[in-house]
Amino acid sequence: MTISFDLTGKVALVTGANTGIGQAISLALAEAGADVAVAGRSEPTETLDLIEATGRKVVNIRADLGSVEPVQRVVEEALTGLGRLDVLVNNAGIIRRADLLDFSEEDWDAVTDTNLKSLFFLSQATARHMVERGSGKIINIASLLTFQGGIRVPSYAAAKSGVGGVTKAMANELAAKGVQVNAIAPGYIATNNTAALQADETRNRQIVERIPAGRWGRPEDIAGAAVFLASSASDYVTGHILAVDGGWLAR
Residue range of the domain that includes 111: 11-191+218-245
Average pLDDT over residues 165-173: 98
Return the number of other C-beta atoms located less than 10 Å from residue 154's C-beta: 20
Strand partners, 35: 11
Within a domain: 203: no
The pLDDT confidence band at residue 196, using thresholds 50, 70 and 90, is: confident
Within a domain: 2: no
Domain count for the chain:
1
Within a domain: 208: no
Within a domain: 6: no
Within a domain: 30: yes
Within a domain: 250: no
CATH of the domain at 88: 3.40.50.720
The pLDDT confidence band at residue 11, using thresholds 50, 70 and 90, is: very high
156 is catalytic: yes
Within a domain: 198: no
Q: Which of 120, 156, 188, 216 is catalytic?
A: 156
Within a domain: 173: yes
Go through the chain and tell me how many residues it has: 251
- The pLDDT of residue 197 is 87
Q: pTM for this structure? A: 0.97
pLDDT tens sequence across 33-88: 999 999 999 999 999 999 999 999 999 999 999 999 999 999 999 999 999 999 99
